């Protein structure tokens, strides 16, 4: 019976050690992947959300101004055509 208990204790200890080793490997892999991703993102020349939103707002304002100017040009062309009799 003593031998049997010793075998179970050894197996239990082996499984505990294996679980600890697997957890350590998982932590090490996560740390390595996080470091790699941070380095990749730092070198990827990506814009921040604030920069993106600012440029999007500028584009919307430019589009509105473009539409206003296009309408103004059309109106001026109509007036010119009326004046010249075309």
1-31 confidence digits (pLDDT tens): 566 788 888 888 888 888 889 898 999 999 9
Residue pLDDT, tens place only, 17-74: 888 898 989 999 999 999 999 888 888 888 889 999 999 999 999 999 999 999 999 9
Model confidence at 86, pLDDT cuts 50, 70, 90, reads low
Write a three-state SS string for the chain.
Answer: CHHHHHHHHHHHHHHHHHHHHHHHHHHHHHHHHHHHHHHHHHHCCCCCHHHHHHHHHHHHHHHHHHHHHHHHHHHHHHHHHHHHCC
Residue 57 is predicted with a pLDDT of: 98
**Closest CA relative to residue 74, chosen from 66, 84, 63, 64:** 66
* Higher-pLDDT residue of 85, 86: 85
């Amino acid at each position: 019976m003593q031998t049997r208990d010793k075998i179970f204790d050894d197996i239990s200890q082996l499984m505990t050690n294996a679980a600890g080793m697997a957890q350590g490997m998982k932590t090490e892999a996560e740390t390595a992947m996080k470091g790699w991703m941070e380095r990749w993102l730092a070198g990827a020349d990506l814009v921040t959300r604030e920069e993106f939103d600012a440029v999007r707002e500028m584009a919307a304002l430019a589009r509105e101004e473009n539409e206003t100017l296009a309408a103004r040009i059309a109106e001026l062309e109509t007036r010119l055509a009326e004046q010249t009799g075309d």
